[in-house]
Amino acid sequence: MLAHHCKECRSPLFEYQGEIICPSCRKKVTIEEKPKPEVAPSPKIPAPEKVDLELLESVLSEKLRELANQLKIERESEAIAEILKNMDLLLQVLRRVQEFK
């Protein structure tokens, strides 16, 4: 049994040997296909490489500036070493971001 009904007698239609048959009218029936609704294009998801590199770069630069200001006022060698370590990490990422562009 198919999801379609005969237009004349409203009986459910059957498929028989590749043809659509109305068992009540005893004849072949052609089913009018409903036009498929237009599928709205899904919003494009930005690819991972389309990350806002400019933004990332500016954030990294800002962090570097903050670290530089800390470094300027810092007196303890341990804290200075820590700041330098963080700066090194930031610079590594920044360099990678710049290579990526």
By CB under 5 A, residue 2 contacts Zn ion: no
Name residue, tokens 């389309």.
50
Which parts of 5-44 interact with Zn ion (CB under 5 A)? 6, 8-9, 11, 22, 24-25
By CB under 5 A, residue 56 contacts Zn ion: no
Q: Which residue's C-beta sits nearest to Zn ion?
A: 6
Rg of the chain over all Cα atoms, to the nearest angstrom: 35
Nearer to Zn ion among residue 9 and residue 79 (C-beta): 9
DSSP 35-56: PPPPPPPPPPPPPGGGS-HHHH
Four-point Cα dihedral 94, 95, 97, 99, nearest 10: 170
CB of 45 to Zn ion, least distance (A): 48
Footprint of Zn ion on this chain (CB under 5 A)? 6, 8-9, 11, 22, 24-25
